[in-house]
Structure 1
Amino acid sequence: MDPTTIATTTTAVLTTKRSNRSCRLVLLPYPLQGHINPMLQLANILYSKGFSITILHTHYNSPNPVNHPNFNFVPIPGVAEEKYPVSSIDNLISLMRYLNDKCMGAVEDCLERMALEDEGVACLVTDAQWFATQSIADRLKFPRIVNWTSNVSTFLTFAAVPLLRDMGYVRKFTDQEKRSDALVSGVELLKVRDLSSFLTSDPKGASELMELLVLGVKPAQAIIWNTVKELEELELPKLSHDFPSSHFLIGPLHKYFPPLSSSLLTQDQTCISWLDKQAPNSVLYVSFGSLAGVEESQFQEIAWGLANSKQPFLWVVRPGSIQGSEWLESLLDGYLEKIVEGKGYIVKWAPQQEVLAHFAIGGFLTHNGWNSTLESICEGVPMICSPRFGDQLTIARYVTDVWKIGVELKNGLERVEIEGAIKRLMADPEGLEIRARVNNLKEKVNNCLKKGGSSYSSLEDLVNYILSFKGGIK
C-alpha cells in the first residue's frame, strides 16, 4: 500500500468469521470520556475482525471490564491512581504533561511483560495524546498506530501552531482582537477572535503541547481517524503530503455497533420517556460534554435564553460544571417552576446517542466536541455552536461556515443571542434549509459504512495492514 495515499482501496474482502485471535493488539486509551469511548468503539470493531484485544489503562477513569467481556484489561501500576482534577483547560494541560512525563516507565514495563507472554504484541494502538509512547514502541520494536479521536481538519490546525507562533499569535489577545472576524493567514478557516479560545488562557503551554501531539503522531506507522472521507475531501491531499504515514478514515466509529456501556457518568434514562411525549423535531438538546464548564453568570444566561425561546428543551447540567455550584442551586427563584410547566427537562447526564436519534430532537446546542458533532451529523440534527477551547473552534467553523449545518453564538453565552439562535434554527425558514443540508450530509456519512463505502473499504485495508506485521517481539 502506498503510504502517502489515503487508504481507502479495498485489497481484500474480509469477514468476521476469519479468526486472527492469535494476533494481539494492545490499545492504550487516554483517560478522559471523549477519548475512552472512541478507543473502546475501535476495540469492538477490531475484535469483530478476529483480533485479540488488550486494553492497557490508567486507574484514573478506568473502563469497567464487566461491560467489555471480550477484552483483557491491564491497569498500569501506580499511574494516576488518585482522582485527577480536570475542571479546566489548565488542568487538562497538567494531566497530559503528567502522563507523558512521569508515567512512561510504568507503561514500558507493562508492554515489555506483555511482549514476553505467549500471545506477544502484534501492534500498539495509542491515543494521540499519549505522544511520548513512540519512543517506547521504538525500543520494543512494536509497530505503533495512533488513534486520532478528532477530525483531520483540527489535526492540520494543530500542525499550524508553529506558523501561528511565527505570526505572533501565541500570546494574550486584546479585547478588540477577541471580536475580530479577520481570517488568520495560513489557517484561513479560523478567525482572529477564535484564537484566544483555541490557544486557551495559557497560550504558550497549549501551543507547546499541540506541537508535541503533532510530533508524536508523525513517526507513527499509521493513523486511524474517526472521520469520513466525504466530510474532509479538501484536507486529505495536504494530510498525505505533510504526514506520509498510512491513513485510515474509518469513522463514524459509534455507528458500527449499538451504543457501548462506557460512560463514566450515570445516564438518566428518564429523559427518553419525556422525549417520547414531545412533538417531532420540537426539542432543543443542550449539552457541553464531559469536560467543558461555565461560569455562574453564563449558566444564568443559558437558563433564561432557553426559557425565553418558548421552545421545549432537554438540558444536561453535569454536576460540578458550573463554577461555584454543585448543580442547580444557582438558578434564580421561579426558574424551576417554568421547568415544571413542561417546557424543559434537566438531567445530570443523558444517553446522548439515543437522545440525538430520537424523533423529538430538532436541534443541538453544543460545545462542538468531535464526538458530539459527528453524532449530531449522523442523526441529521442541526447545531447551535458554542465552542469552548482547542479543537472545538475548528469544528464549529466547519459546522457553520463549510458544511453550513448550524448557527454560531458569536458573542458567547448571552440570553438574547441564545433565544435568537434557537428561533433561527427551530422556527425560521433558515432552519429548514439547515436541516435539509444536515440530512443530506447524514445520508452521505451513513452510506460510507455500507459495503463499497469509503469507511467500509478503509477498515478492510486497516485489517490487512495490521495483519502484515510479524507479531512484535516475544
Structure 2
Amino acid sequence: MLQLANILHTKGFNITIIHTQFNSPQYQSIYPQFTFKSISDGFSISDKDSTLNLETGNYAVNFMNKSCIHPFRDCLARLLQEEPVACLISDSLWHFTQSVADGLKLPRIALRTSSMSCILVYAALPLVQEKGYLKTTNHELPPMTNKDMLKIYAGGFEEGKLELISIMIKETKAASGIIYNTFKELEEPAFLAISQDFRIPCFPIGPFHKYCPSSSSSLLEQDRSSISWLDHQPVNSVVYVSFGSIAQMDESEFANMAWGLASSKQRFLWVVRPGSVPGSEWLESLPKGFLDEVGERGCIVKWAPQQEVLAHEAVGGFWTHCGWNSVLESICEGVPMICSPCSYDQPINAVYVVDVWRIGVMLEKGMEAEEVGRAIKRVIVDKEGDEMRQRSESLQEKVNQSLEMGGSATQALENLVAYILSF
C-alpha cells in the first residue's frame, strides 16, 4: 500500500493513509509527503502478541473487518469534512470498507496484492465448498489440479477462511475498480477472464517496487552483511532462502531444511527469522554439526534486503514459500525458483512458476532433505537450471518493456490516474 501511495503521489495526488494501531507503520519520517491517521482496531495488548501468524490470521482479519467499521467511518467522515477526497483505495481483504465508502458516497478502488490468477481461483472456492468437491467449474484454470486446490484448503475453513474469501470477492466486485500488483503480459488469460467476470475496470500497474526501487517497505530490520558476503561469491552460485515475514515451521522441518542445504554442497544465503521456529530465539534449532559441515559455504541472517539480494549477480536461485511479492521480485531479476508453498495464494503462484512459466521446481515432499538437495542442484548446477534462468530472463525483459513509455503497466497507470480524476 505504501508503494502504491508513493506511485500515486508522483502523479500529483495528495495521500492520506488510515491505518490501525496494530502493526502501525513507523514511516512518518520516511514518507513526510503522506498524512497518517490512526484508528482503533479493537485488539487488546495480549491479543496482539498472538495474532500475527498463519494459524490465527483468518480470525484476526475477520475480527478487524467488524471492529474497525465505526472507527474507520468516523475517521473518513472527518477527512471528507476537511478536504475533497477523490476516492478510497483499500486492500480487498478489508471488505468492510466497501459499505463504509458506499454510505459516504465515495468511490472505492480495491487493491489486490496477489496475482490475477489467484482471484479467479478464489472466486470459485465458495461453490467448490458448497458442492463438496474440488473442481473450479466455470473458472477452471488448466494448471490447477485437485491436489493444488487441496493445498489452498490447508488448515480447513474452521477459522473463517471461506467466509473471508467469499465476502472479499463479493465486495471486490462491488468496487469501482481493482488495482493489481502485476503486469498484463505475465497473466493475460487471467486479465481477460477477470474483465469478463468482474465487469469493473482492472488496472495491472505492477510490479510496484520497480517504480521506487530505492525505497523499502520491509517491516523488519535488514542485515546488510548479506550483500557483503554475496560480493565474494561466484556468479549464479548462491541459492537464496527466505520464507517471508510470517511463515513458521516445526523443528523437524527446520532440521530437514538445514540438512538439505548441506547435502546440496552449494553456497546459500539463508534468512532465518527470529521466531520462525516457535519457541526458538534464533538458531537454537539448527541440528548439531550443521555449521561445521557447511563452513563458509553458508551465510545465515535474520532478515535480508531481498530485492537487492535477488538483483545480485551471485544469486542463481531462490528457495521461496511463493508469496506473490517474492515471486514478482524473483521474476523482475530473472532468478529461477524452488517452490515450497504453504496455503492461501502460495500454491497457485507455485503452479504458475513451475507449470506455466516454467521458471522453477516444486518440492513435492515438503522439507525432505534429499529432495531439497536435489532441487538445489537442479537449479544451480544442472542444464535444466540454465534453461529456467533463460526463461526467467525473458520474463524479466517483459517486465522492463511493460514499464517503458507506452508499455502495458505504464498505460494501465495512466488509465488509473485518469479514472480517479474522473470521479
Pairing 1:440–2:405 present: no
Aligned position for 2:122: 158
- Separation in 2, partners of 1:89, 1:199: 13
After the TM superposition, which residues 447-458 of structure 1 pair with which residues of structure 2 at under 5 Å, given as runs?
447-458=401-412
Pairing 1:203–2:157 present: yes
How far off is 1:324 after superposition? 3.3
Aligned position for 2:420: 466
Report the 3-state secondary structure (helix = DSSP H, G, I; strand = E; otherwise coil) of the residue aligned with 1:155.
Answer: helix
Amino acid at match of 1:330: S
Pairing 1:52–2:52 present: no
How far off is 1:302 after superposition? 0.4
> RMSD across aligned C-alpha pairs, in angstroms?
1.5
- Separation in 2, partners of 1:184, 1:459: 31
Aligned position for 1:396: 350
Kindly indicate whether the alpha-carbon contact (under 8 Å) linking 1:148 and 1:225 is maintained by their aligned counterparts in 2.
yes
Kindly indicate whether the alpha-carbon contact (under 8 Å) linking 1:89 and 1:200 is maintained by their aligned counterparts in 2.
no
Pairing 1:220–2:175 present: yes
Aligned position for 2:328: 374
How far off is 1:407 after superposition? 0.4
- Separation in 2, partners of 1:144, 1:283: 44
Kindly indicate whether the alpha-carbon contact (under 8 Å) linking 2:318 and 2:336 is maintained by their aligned counterparts in 1.
yes
Q: Deviations over 1:354-397 (max 9, x none)?
A: 10001110000000000000000000000000001110010000
- Separation in 1, partners of 2:179, 2:264: 41
Give unpaired runs (5+ residues) of structure 2.
none
- Separation in 2, partners of 1:411, 1:364: 18
Quick one: which of 114, 121, 125 aligns to 2:79? 114
Aligned position for 2:89: 125
After the TM superposition, which residues 293-332 of structure 1 pair with which residues of structure 2 at under 5 Å, given as runs?
293-332=248-287
Aligned position for 1:71: 34
Report the 3-state secondary structure (helix = DSSP H, G, I; strand = E; otherwise coil) of the residue aligned with 1:51.
Answer: coil
Pairing 1:191–2:153 present: no
Report the 3-state secondary structure (helix = DSSP H, G, I; strand = E; otherwise coil) of the residue aligned with 2:218.
Answer: coil
Quick one: which of 375, 381, 385 aligns to 1:421? 375
- Separation in 1, partners of 2:25, 2:64: 17
Report the 3-state secondary structure (helix = DSSP H, G, I; strand = E; otherwise coil) of the residue aligned with 1:147.
Answer: strand
Amino acid at match of 2:9: Y
Amino acid at match of 1:316: V
Deviates more, 1:86-95 or 1:346-355: 86-95
- Separation in 2, partners of 1:422, 1:296: 21
How far off is 1:187 after superposition? 4.6
Note closer, same or farther for the CA distance 1:400–1:78 as it changes in structure 2 (3 Å cut): closer
- Separation in 1, partners of 2:353, 2:279: 32
- Separation in 2, partners of 1:75, 1:133: 15
Aligned position for 1:7: none
Identify which of structures 1 and 2 has the higher relative contact order when contacts are C-alpha pairs closer than 8 Å and 6+ apart.
Answer: 1
Give unpaired runs (5+ residues) of structure 1.
1-38, 171-182, 470-474
Report the 3-state secondary structure (helix = DSSP H, G, I; strand = E; otherwise coil) of the residue aligned with 1:284.
Answer: strand
How far off is 1:81 after superposition? 6.6
How far off is 1:325 after superposition? 1.9
Kindly indicate whether the alpha-carbon contact (under 8 Å) linking 1:199 and 1:207 is maintained by their aligned counterparts in 2.
no
Q: Deviations over 1:436-472 (max 9, x none)?
A: 1110011011110000100001101111111111xxx
- TM-score with structure 2 setting the length: 0.95
- TM-score with structure 1 setting the length: 0.85
Note closer, same or farther for the CA distance 1:78–1:398 as it changes in structure 2 (3 Å cut): closer
Quick one: which of 346, 359, 373 aligns to 1:405? 359
Q: How many residues align?
A: 417
Q: Deviations over 1:179-236 (max 9, x none)?
A: xxxx866353222222333012133532221111111201000110111100111122
Kindly indicate whether the alpha-carbon contact (under 8 Å) linking 1:79 and 1:106 is maintained by their aligned counterparts in 2.
no
Kindly indicate whether the alpha-carbon contact (under 8 Å) linking 1:283 and 1:360 is maintained by their aligned counterparts in 2.
yes
Kindly indicate whether the alpha-carbon contact (under 8 Å) linking 1:379 and 1:442 is maintained by their aligned counterparts in 2.
yes
Amino acid at match of 1:199: Y
Kindly indicate whether the alpha-carbon contact (under 8 Å) linking 2:18 and 2:37 is maintained by their aligned counterparts in 1.
yes
After the TM superposition, which residues 236-315 of structure 1 pair with which residues of structure 2 at under 5 Å, given as runs?
236-315=191-270
Amino acid at match of 2:2: L
Kindly indicate whether the alpha-carbon contact (under 8 Å) linking 1:87 and 1:321 is maintained by their aligned counterparts in 2.
no
Pairing 1:139–2:94 present: no
How far off is 1:120 after superposition? 2.6
Amino acid at match of 1:106: P
- Separation in 2, partners of 1:160, 1:248: 22
- Separation in 2, partners of 1:138, 1:329: 51
Pairing 1:363–2:325 present: no
How far off is 1:84 after superposition? 4.9
Report the 3-state secondary structure (helix = DSSP H, G, I; strand = E; otherwise coil) of the residue aligned with 1:435.
Answer: helix
Report the 3-state secondary structure (helix = DSSP H, G, I; strand = E; otherwise coil) of the residue aligned with 1:200.
Answer: coil
Q: Deviations over 1:5-39 (max 9, x none)?
A: xxxxxxxxxxxxxxxxxxxxxxxxxxxxxxxxxx1
Q: Deviations over 1:132-176 (max 9, x none)?
A: 111100110111001100110000010011231244148xxxxxx
Report the 3-state secondary structure (helix = DSSP H, G, I; strand = E; otherwise coil) of the residue aligned with 1:145.
Answer: strand
- Separation in 2, partners of 1:130, 1:98: 11
Kindly indicate whether the alpha-carbon contact (under 8 Å) linking 1:41 and 1:254 is maintained by their aligned counterparts in 2.
yes
Report the 3-state secondary structure (helix = DSSP H, G, I; strand = E; otherwise coil) of the residue aligned with 1:362.
Answer: strand
Kindly indicate whether the alpha-carbon contact (under 8 Å) linking 2:40 and 2:68 is maintained by their aligned counterparts in 1.
no
Note closer, same or farther for the CA distance 1:81–1:448 as it changes in structure 2 (3 Å cut): farther
How far off is 1:55 after superposition? 0.7
Report the 3-state secondary structure (helix = DSSP H, G, I; strand = E; otherwise coil) of the residue aligned with 2:296.
Answer: helix
Aligned position for 1:179: none
Note closer, same or farther for the CA distance 1:222–1:199 as it changes in structure 2 (3 Å cut): same
Q: Deviations over 1:237-289 (max 9, x none)?
A: 21111101111110000000124233211100110000000001100000000
Amino acid at match of 2:225: T
